Structure formats: C-alpha cells, structure tokens
Amino acid sequence: KQEVTQIPAALSVPEGENLVLNCSFTDSAIYNLQWFRQDPGKGLTSLLLIQSSQREQTSGRLNASLDKSSGRSTLYIAASQPGDSATYLCAVDFGNEKLTFGTGTRLTIIP
C-alpha cells in the first residue's frame, strides 16, 4: 500500500531557529513530491514541488530535499518566524496521477 507518513504530528520551535520537517513514503517509484502549507480555516498553499529526477528545490527560506532510495523528503525552514506557524503537508504522486497526502506536522513558532 502506498502511504505517506509525517512525524512528528506537532512541533514547537523558538523564533529564529532553523528547523526540519520530515516526510517518508513507502514506494520509491514516485513521479513527484510536493510540500503544502495549511493555515487554520484556509485551504492548502503549494510551497515546493520536487520532480523524481531532482534532489532539492529552494524558495526563499524554504528548501525541500528528496531521497527516493530511502523514501524520505525533508522541508528545511531557515530563520523561523511566527508567520511560519501552520500545518505542513507532504503529498506524493506515486505515478497514479493523484496526490497521496501525509497527515501533516503542525508547526508552532514561539515568539
């Protein structure tokens, strides 16, 4: 069964620190992987998309890496800010042209 796992479910970090969010997936034959952000009462916002042939993608303070052989992706957030507080979701296209989402990590940045 193709599954996406995100641990921990919740994370609290003091403002200004760098942090890493984890995502693991069961099948290494993926097409692409995306990281989304979800704010309370709002929909999802796409942050970064990594194709299966890529190792990482960067956007501002965000850097996402992909290691297909180990079935893992990480989202690195540099110099965290209170506005980064949200739930971060990892989603994988396992080649079936649909996104399978993890359960997310709820991030709280402590001012």
Partner 1 sequence: EAGVAQSPRYKIIEKRQSVAFWCNPISGHATLYWYQQILGQGPKLLIQFQNNGVVDDSQLPKDRFSAERLKGVDSTLKIQPAKLEDSAVYLCASSLQGLREETQYFGPGTRLLVL
Residues in contact with partner 1 by the rule CB under 8 A: 4, 31-32, 41-46, 49, 51, 89, 91, 93, 97-104
Q: Which is nearer to partner 1, 15 or 71 (CB)?
A: 71
The per-residue b/e assignment along 11-22, b for 16 or more CB within 10 angstroms, e otherwise, is bebeeeeebebb
**Nearest distance from residue 103's CB to partner 1, in Å?**
5
- Angle (nearest 5°) at CA 45 between 43 and 51: 135
**Nearest distance from residue 20's CB to partner 1, in Å?**
19
**Nearest distance from residue 9's CB to partner 1, in Å?**
8
Name the maximum alpha-carbon separation found in the chain. Answer: 42
Q: Which is nearer to partner 1, 41 or 83 (CB)?
A: 41
Q: Which is nearer to partner 1, 15 or 93 (CB)?
A: 93
109, with CB counted inside 10 A (0-12, 13-18, 19+), is buried
1, with CB counted inside 10 A (0-12, 13-18, 19+), is exposed
**Nearest distance from residue 76's CB to partner 1, in Å?**
21
Q: Which is nearer to partner 1, 75 or 91 (CB)?
A: 91
